[in-house]
Chain A
Amino acid sequence: MKTKEESEKFFLISYIVIAAFLLLIIRLWQLQVLQGNKYRKLSEANRLRIITIPAPRGIIYDRNGIPLVKNSSYNCASVIPGEFDRGKAETLARFLRVPADEIINKLNVKDLSPFVPVRLKEGLSFNELAYIESRRSDFPGMIIEADISREYIYGDLGAHLVGYLGKLTPSQTEDAAFDDVPLDAFIGQWGVEKLLDKSLRGIPGKRIIEVDALGRELRLLQEKSPVKGEDVTLSLDINLQKEAERAFGERAGALVAINPKNGEILGMISKPSFDPNLFTKRISHKDWTSLTHDMKNPMLNRALQSQYPPGSTFKIVTAIAGLEEGVITPETKIECHGGISYGRWHFGCWRKHGHGVISLHRAIVESCDVYFYEVGRRLGIDRIYNYAMKLGLGRKTGIELGTERKGLVPNTKWKMETKKLPWFLGETFNTSIGQGYVTATPLQMAVLTGVIVNGGDLFKPTLIKGAKPIISGKVKIRPETLEIINTGLTGVVNESSGTGWAAKSPTTQIGGKTGTAQVVASRYFSQRFRDHAWFIAFAPVEKPEIALSVFVEHGGHGGAAAAPIARRAIEAYLNEKSRDFKDLNVQSRSQTNKEF
């Protein structure tokens, strides 16, 4: 092998390597052991801040493009848990004027990210903002965050339909469907806001910022811009809403207007209403209790959640069934002496002196009860039941808006099952004129009106303008029958003896039917003895564009209480429509006429 000299060469190399290693070790010792504390502090000064940038929510428009909501920004005071000294929580609480335990609870949430700000006070006023900004250095880790809040321009007008936003409920935070929603975010909790929440919501952006120990922002590490939610145009007409609202005044009740050609909801009123703006900045306990404990129940959407006997409006069903089943013809004459007797009971007509000998047309126009007792007797309850069901009563309309009630249409089978009693003829009399067991929601009555004027298409009501119409059922009614009914309903409003004279409009010809639902005497609510008033209507009669139902709680007689509301809603809607293509003269004339 090679010489000693050769071996020495290799040992020299080894020594050089070892010496170099010693150099590295000395340097490591210097950095990690001698200066370790200094560098540890520097590493703690390296901090991140993750800020979510809220996505503007989609705007909700009425059918004419008028915005019903708007987004406005507001400021909140927040702290970044990783940068905030919890020992200062109480001082900060006093400074922000919020309860100390509220702040402490918020910061004690499990799995809290040290980088994501926690909101302590929302909706700061300008003065508060300036004050906090000036004292920020006293509370390292406190920042001002901007967020977007929802404002409902028309307040309680159509609140049940547009809905409102709220924070995630405890059950929603567990739900995987809301995983991508920040804990602090507001989401749709009611109405259209809830129904279309996914598309209205948008996608929040985020910003990851490097900051130093004093919370000064050093540089942006990552940024994702928010994506605005999609706008939506409702089928709702805000002018109709406004006018109907005014017409209702302080009375409780509901109005539903639909387009009979496609099922679009043109208007929906439920009175009393509530102000959805109360919810957008975390509703206070006091406001919530007063809303939910109010005897008048403003949170109830009466348009689809309250059901009442439809009264004489139901006579339309009885008449259609009679004509279609052939138990009467338009010429069939029946004599009304102001009532009939059946066994021990007396069934009266609303006009005590009677109508004399009348045919179907006058029976509808003047709403003769005795005529329909007789039609009902000839039909029997089960045939009335069949037609009522076909026309959409007794089942849900399928509107995608909270819990809808389905009303009730009785028959012999139903009575046997629930009351364990056979059916009495007297109950058929009651049902024929819409009293007794039969109940319906205002929404169902509006849909029913639509079916009669469009020739038999039962549309699923929709809230979105231009949505593809969904037909949930078709009723086969002979055109002659519909002709007779429509002529009758036109007479109700336009003939001198008609019960719905109060709905007569100078600008358009309206057809309709009054209804009065008797309120059973109750010991507890003696002050509420007055009957409920109904009115269903459509216009213009030759080519209907709007069908609606009005219900006034304890309103008294339908013709007096509900018919004027229907007229004003119809006029508001048709005038707005005509403004699009008619000249100014027509418009000004119609306005003068309205005052008449």
Chain B
Amino acid sequence: MFNLDRRLIKNFDWLTLIVVLAIAIIGIITIYSATRPLPLEEQSVFYIKQVFWLVFGIISLFLVSLFDYIWLSRLSIYFYIIGIILLIGVLILGSSGMGAQRWLSVGHFSFQPSEIFKLFYIIMLSQHLSSINGPLNTVSLLRIFLMIVLVPFSLLFKQPDLGTALIIFLLFVLLVIVKGLHKKVAILFVILSLISLPFFGSIFWEGLKDYQKSRIVAFMEPKEDLTGIGYHITQSKITVGSGGLIGKGYLEGTQGPFRFLPEKHTDFIFSVFAEEWGFLGSLLLLFLYLMIILRGVDTARTAKDEFGKFLALGITFMFSIYFFVNVGMTLGMMPVVGIPLPFMSYGGTALLSNLLAIGILINIRLRRFHLF
């Protein structure tokens, strides 16, 4: 093992690591700015907490990239079961924030099992898809849906963690498309979806909590509701737009600290960044994200086996969905779904699980040549 150290270092995907680290540091700097206190108040400690999580996450990232990812395939079923148990645990014991139960507390430490679960889910799905030869037929498609997707989807929907539930479903759809379907199955898939859409939609709508409904209404008609969710969208657009070409300058943004922008250090962190760094800064930040995503797609393309391919693709899709939905939301292109921006938003569990996911990506790339 130690003889291989040299190649390990040489083939290690430093580019991805450095880009991710850069985004995370930009995130901490922006969290600091966004949570600047009003007069008569104290500076919050969000940014310090985030630094601790970053250090912890980077160490975990290295640990995850050390061993061959084939172990993930072998242990996938156990991870998945643990993940499901955690989700049930949240429903029973969880504490709620903003009308939803998402956290589990152990002593002073509280974390969001759904963040970790996503990884276990992708591993499980990749393992299963890679074990099937050729395109999927109706039976295997239904089996995957019923065995792997339906249970966590329902649990997450119940919490309710709408964002994660949708991502789990989207990942299933995307990975199945990549895997390929028999023509007949594909046609059936599309027709069934179209028929069930209105029916499913109404169940979906009934199942939503009021604040979720108002987000969707607000997205359609932002002017309707200037103090509620529509206010969030309007304020986010003001925040981004007022940055102009070159931005207001670091620590010069007013929207976040003065409380005009809600969730400024979590879901709307991009707006705060765009306000202070302008169009040019945002362009650079978007470019960094683009590099991670394209690199992830390339890792999937060059993976040495099917499991690695689906795993890398699943993780990359996850980041892409998060990124596009979050940034789209801050720019008023998507409804407010309440999902964070990977590596930047304040949130310990999310940062840790995202860095673990990056560790897995690096692991797959490191072992792409059947050498190890």
Q: Are B237 and A31 in contact (CB under 8 A)?
A: yes
B248 → A minimal CB distance (Å): 8
Partner of B242, one of A10, A42, A116: A42
> A437 CA to B190 CA in the complex, in Å?
115
A46 contacts the other chain (Cβ, under 8 Å)? yes
Partner of A32, one of B279, B298, B333: B279
Question: Is residue B198 within 8 Å, beta carbon to beta carbon, of the partner chain?
Answer: no
A482 within 8 A of B: no
Q: Is the CB of B244 within 8 A of A33?
A: yes
B237 / chain A contacts, CB cutoff of 8 Å:
31, 39
In the complex, the answer to whether A17 meets B294 with C-beta atoms within 8 Å is yes
Does B272 reach chain A (CB closer than 8 Å)?
Answer: no
CB distance from B333 to the nearest CB of A (A): 6
- The answer, yes or no, to whether A9 is at the interface (CB within 8 Å) is yes
Partner of A39 from the list B227, B242, B258, B328 (CB cut-off 8 Å) is B242
* Cα of A178 to Cα of B58 in the assembled complex, Å: 47
Q: Which of A164-183 contact B (CB under 8 A)?
A: none
A32 touches B274 (CB 8 A): yes
Distance in angstroms between the alpha carbons of A50 and B258 in the assembled complex:
11
Measured in the bound complex, the distance between the Cα atoms of B234 and A39 in whole Å is 10
How many angstroms from the CA of A35 to the CA of B241 in the assembled complex? 7
In the complex, 10 of the A-B residue pairs with CB atoms within 8 angstroms, ordered by the A residue number, are A10-B300, A13-B313, A21-B286, A24-B324, A32-B243, A39-B241, A116-B39, A210-B260, A219-B227, A221-B259
**B293 and chain A: residue at smallest CB distance:** A17
Task: Give A575 to B40 CA distance when docked, in angstroms.
Answer: 53
Knowing A32-B274, A39-B237, A46-B258 are in contact, say whether A24-B244 is a contact too (CB < 8 A).
no
Alpha-carbon distance between A210 and B278 when the two chains are bound, in angstroms: 25
Asked if B238 contacts A39 (CB within 8 A), the reply is yes
Contact of B260 among A38, A46, A115 (CB under 8 A): A46
Q: Output the nearest chain A residue to B236 by Cβ-Cβ distance.
A: A31
A46–B300 touching, CB < 8 Å: no
| B293 and A43 form a contact (CB under 8 A) | no
Task: Pick from A21, A28, A115: contact of B331, CB below 8 A.
Answer: A28
Instruction: Chain B residues near A116: list those with CB within 8 A.
Output: 39
Give Cα distance in the complex from A23 to B324, angstroms. 10
Q: For window 1-28 of chain A, which residues contact chain B by CB distance below 8 Å?
A: 7, 9-10, 13-14, 17-18, 20-21, 23-25, 27-28
Q: Is B188 an interface residue (CB 8 A)?
A: no
B282 at the interface (CB under 8 A from A): yes
A587 within 8 A of B: no
- Chain A residue nearest to B289 in the complex (CB): A21
Please state if A14 and B297 are interface contacts (CB–CB under 8 Å).
yes
Q: Which of B244, B254, B290 contacts A46 (CB 8 A)?
A: B254
Measured CB to CB, the closest approach of chain A to B246, in angstroms, equals: 9
Report if B239 contacts A (CB, 8 A). yes
Shortest CB distance A223–B (Å):
13
Determine if B38 and A208 form an interchain contact, defined as CB atoms under 8 angstroms apart: yes
Chain A contacts with B in 459-509, Cβ cutoff 8 A: none
Cβ–Cβ contact A36 & B242, under 8 A: yes
Residue interface mask B279-300, A partner, CB < 8 A = 1: 1001100100010011001101
Q: Does A36 contact B38, Cβ atoms closer than 8 Å?
A: no
List of A residues within 8 angstroms of B101 by Cβ: none
- Contact check, A43 vs B331: say whether CB atoms are below 8 A apart: no
Docked-complex contact A32 and B40, CB < 8 angstroms: no
CB of B282 within 8 A of CB of A28, answer: yes
Cα–Cα, bound, A87→B315 (Å): 59
A31 to B242, CA, bound (A): 8
Closest chain A CB from B190 CB (angstroms): 19
Given A36-B242, A39-B237, A20 contacting B324 (CB threshold 8 A): yes
Give the residue of A10, A28, A208 whose beta carbon is less than 8 angstroms from that of B274.
Answer: A28
**Docked complex: A204-236 residues within 8 A CB-CB of B:** 206, 208, 210, 219, 221
- The interface residues of chain B lying within 8 Å CB-to-CB of A14 are 294, 297
Query: How distant is the Cα of A38 from the Cα of B244 in the complex, in angstroms?
Result: 10
Contact digits for B218-230, partner A, Cβ 8 Å, 1 yes 0 no: 0000000001000
CB contact list, B313-335 vs A, under 8 A: 313, 320, 324, 327-328, 331-333
Q: How far is the CA of A13 from the CA of B177 in the complex (A)?
A: 11
Add 15 more A-B contacts to A115-B39, A210-B259 (CB < 8 A).
Answer: A9-B178, A10-B301, A18-B294, A24-B331, A28-B283, A28-B331, A31-B241, A32-B241, A32-B245, A36-B245, A48-B38, A50-B39, A113-B39, A210-B260, A221-B259
A197 to B237, CA, bound (A): 49
Query: Which residues in chain A, 347-406, are within 8 Å of chain B measured between CB atoms?
Result: none
Inter-chain contact B333/A27, CB cutoff 8 Å: yes
| Least distance between A224 CB and chain B CB atoms (Å) | 9
- Chain B residues with Cβ under 8 A from A28's Cβ? 240, 274, 279, 282-283, 286, 331
Chain A 121-147 interface residues, beta-carbon cutoff 8 Å to B: none
Q: Is B255 an interface residue (CB 8 A)?
A: yes
Given that A24-B328, A116-B39 are known contacts, is A33 also in contact with B245, CB under 8 Å in the complex? Answer: yes
Give the complex CA separation of A33 and B240 in angstroms.
10
Q: Please, what's the 1-or-0 string for B232-268, where 1 marks a CB less than 8 Å from any CB in chain A?
A: 0001011111111100000000110011100000000
Residue of A nearest to B245 (CB): A33
Q: A206 vs B39: C-alpha distance in the bound complex, in angstroms?
A: 11
Closest approach, in angstroms, between the C-beta of B169 and any C-beta of chain A?
19
State A44–B258 Cα separation when bound (angstroms): 12
Using an 8 Å CB-CB cutoff, how does the interface string of A394-421 with B read, 1 for contact, 0 for none? 0000000000000000000000000000
Contact indicator A24/B286 (Cβ below 8 Å): yes
Q: Least Cβ distance of A388 to chain B in Å?
A: 56
- A32 to B333 Cα, complex, angstroms: 14
- A29: interface (CB < 8 Å): yes
Q: Are B258 and A36 in contact (CB under 8 A)?
A: no
Interface pairs A-B: 3 shortest CB-CB: A39-B241, A43-B242, A36-B244
B146 to chain A, nearest CB (A): 27
Tell me, in angstroms, the Cα distance from A228 to B300 when the chains sit together: 68
Q: Which residues of A contact B254 (CB under 8 A)?
A: 43, 46
Question: B242–A40 contact, CB under 8 A?
Answer: yes
A237, chain B: closest CB distance, angstroms:
43
Q: How far is the CA of A23 from the CA of B290 in the complex (A)?
A: 13
- Considering the chains assembled together, what is the distance between the CA atoms of A48 and B259 in angstroms? 9
The docked-state distance in angstroms from the alpha carbon of A10 to that of B309 is: 11
Whether B331 and A27, one on each chain, are in contact in the complex, defined by CB atoms closer than 8 angstroms, is yes
Q: Are A17 and B320 in contact (CB under 8 A)?
A: yes
- Tell me which residues across on chain B come within 8 A of A33, comparing CB atoms: 244-245, 279
Residue of B nearest to A40 (CB): B242
Contacts of B240 in A (CB 8 A): 28, 31-32, 39
* Chain A residues within an 8 Å CB radius of B259: 48, 210, 221
Which residues does chain B contribute within 8 Å of A115, judged by CB atoms?
A: 39
Which of chain B's residues have a CB closer than 8 A to the CB of A210?
A: 259-260
Partner of A10, one of B258, B275, B297: B297
Residue in chain B with minimal CB distance to A180: B40
Most buried by A among B237, B241, B278: B241
Mask of A35-59 contacts with B, CB within 8 angstroms, 1/0:
1111110111010101000000000
* Chain B residues positioned under 8 Å from A113 (CB to CB): 39
B242 proximity list for chain A (CB < 8 A):
36, 39-40, 42-44
Q: Are B241 and A40 in contact (CB under 8 A)?
A: yes
Mask of A528-568 contacts with B, CB within 8 angstroms, 1/0: 00000000000000000000000000000000000000000
